[in-house]
Structures are given as C-alpha cells and as structure tokens.
C-alpha cells in the first residue's frame, strides 16, 4: 500500500505490488497538467497505467466519464488497478495490453500515455524499473514513437492526448516523431528534478549518453538536474 500525494494536498491510498511501478514526480506533473488544462469529464484511457494512479486521480477529481479504461503490459499492474478502482468506487475496464493492441475498435476522448519512455540503458541502474518493463531502446523513444504512429485509430474527434518527455531519453527524437505524427502539440507543464543519488556512481556513463544526445541533464552545484515536460496534443 502506498500513499500518493500532490502539492495541492490531494491524496490517494493505493495498493501497489512490489513488481509494479512506484509513482514518481513524473506521475504528479502529468496529473497536475491535466487538472490545469482539461478539467472536463471525458472518456479516458490510462495507457501504461501501473497501479492506476493517473486515471484514478483524474476520477477522484471528477474528470472521468465511467468506466475508466486502463491498460498495462503487466498482469500484476492490472490486478492492482482493479483493486484500487473498486476501493475508490470507480467502474473500470482494465486489461493487459501491449501498447494499444487490446483496444481495437475503441475510441477515447482523452488518452494519457505514461508508458515507459526513458533510455533502457539508464533504466537498468535507476531505482524505478526493478521488475518493471522498459524495453524502450537506448534513446527511450521506441514505445512512445509507436504510440504516436497509431494513436489516431483510438481517438475520438478532438481527443486530448497527454504524454511526458523525460530528459533521460532522446528528447529530440521524441519531439521530431511527435511533429511527424501529431498535428498540433504543445508543452503544458514542466518540472525539474534532481537525479537520485543512487545513480551518481554512473555519472560518467550518463555524460557519454548526453554527448550522444541519448539523454539530457544539467550539472549544477554538485546536483544533476533532469526534467519532465508534459505535452498536450489534439488529435483531429
């Protein structure tokens, strides 16, 4: 069981198995971005839902037309979402799915994609992906680029699509793929955050990846500063 909190005081208690992703600052900034920019009740798909924290936070803030749709490649995550939704009184349709594969013929008014999108080489020594799938390639762009390519098949007219770009990825590859496949998209929120100290021992490797433009960060006063940007696209 974990407690999830936003800066505005919003709190949720969630069942989260050991093998399921623990929500981070990126989770928080995605939810805040949606609350600030798209505060209407919509049919919502939480793609890469983990324990369901994003979809269920939106539900508790009155932004989800039930059922909440949620999917993840992890079976355990889907079990967690079902338990959490029941406890919070949210009708949910949750299923195991690789990207959109199990949502054929379904369309949504809002899609939030928080599928793994940091460099798989960085994920290996990060504290976030122990037993969580992160087959994203060295630039972290493999899965999200695939989502950009296919999202229009799952979007109602004027569907709002939210996704993060995390600086521990090939930011320019993700942005150019977004430019190619999404008609219009804009940044709606950004948060800087410090690299966890447990990753400092790999700083030389991170500097090499930065040289190769596979990740981005700044070094200031002994800290390594990363960022998460949240983007909104309107899918025609």
Q: Which is nearer to ligand SAM, 131 or 184 (CB)?
A: 131
Please give the residue ranges that form the binding site for ligand SAM (CB under 6 A).
21, 23, 27, 48-50, 53-54, 72-74, 77, 98-99, 114-116, 132-133, 143
Buried b (16+ CB within 10 A) or exposed e, 99-130: bbeebeeebbbbbbbbbbbbbbbbbeebebbe
Work out how close the CB of 128 gets to ligand SAM at its nearest, in angstroms, rounded to a whole number: 7
Q: Which is nearer to ligand SAM, 20 or 220 (CB)?
A: 20
Q: Is the Cβ–Cβ distance between 140 and 128 less than 8 Å? A: no
DSSP, residue by residue, 27-45: HHHHHHHHHHH--S-B-EE
Work out how close the CB of 209 gets to ligand SAM at its nearest, in angstroms, rounded to a whole number: 19
CA 154 from centre of chain: 17
CA distance 153 to 21: 27
Please identify the residue of the shown chain whose CB is closest to the bound ligand SAM.
50
Work out how close the CB of 211 gets to ligand SAM at its nearest, in angstroms, rounded to a whole number: 25
Q: Which is nearer to ligand SAM, 77 or 171 (CB)?
A: 77
Q: Which is nearer to ligand SAM, 95 or 221 (CB)?
A: 95
φ/ψ of residue 199, rounded to 5 = -100, -5
Q: How many residues does the chain have?
A: 236
- The strand pairing partners of 196, in sequence order, are none
Work out how close the CB of 114 gets to ligand SAM at its nearest, in angstroms, rounded to a whole number: 4
Q: Which is nearer to ligand SAM, 87 or 183 (CB)?
A: 87
Work out how close the CB of 164 gets to ligand SAM at its nearest, in angstroms, rounded to a whole number: 9
């Amino acid at each position: 069981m974990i407690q999830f909190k936003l800066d505005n005081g919003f709190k949720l208690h969630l069942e989260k198995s050991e093998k399921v992703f623990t929500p981070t600052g990126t989770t928080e900034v995605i939810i805040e971005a949606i609350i600030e920019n798209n505060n209407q009740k919509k049919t919502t798909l939480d793609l890469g839902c983990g324990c369901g924290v994003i979809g269920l936070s939106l539900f508790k803030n009155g932004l989800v037309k039930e059922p909440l749709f949620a999917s993840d490649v992890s079976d355990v995550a889907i079990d967690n979402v079902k338990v959490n939704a029941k406890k919070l009184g949210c009708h949910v349709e949750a299923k195991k799915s690789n990207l959109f594969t199990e949502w054929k013929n379904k369309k949504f008014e809002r899609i939030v994609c928080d599928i793994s999108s940091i460099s798989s080489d960085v994920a290996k020594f990060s504290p976030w992906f122990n037993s969580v799938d992160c087959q994203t390639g060295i630039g972290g762009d493999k899965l999200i680029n695939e989502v950009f390519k296919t999202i229009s098949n799952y979007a109602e007219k004027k569907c709002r699509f939210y996704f993060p770009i995390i600086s521990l990825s090939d930011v320019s590859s993700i942005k150019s793929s977004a430019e190619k496949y999404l008609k219009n998209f804009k940044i709606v929120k950004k948060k800087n955050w410090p690299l966890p100290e447990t990753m400092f021992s790999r700083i030389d490797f991170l500097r090499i990846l930065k040289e190769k433009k596979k990740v981005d960060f700044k070094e200031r006063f002994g800290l390594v500063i990363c960022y998460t940007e949240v983007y909104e696209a309107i899918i025609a």
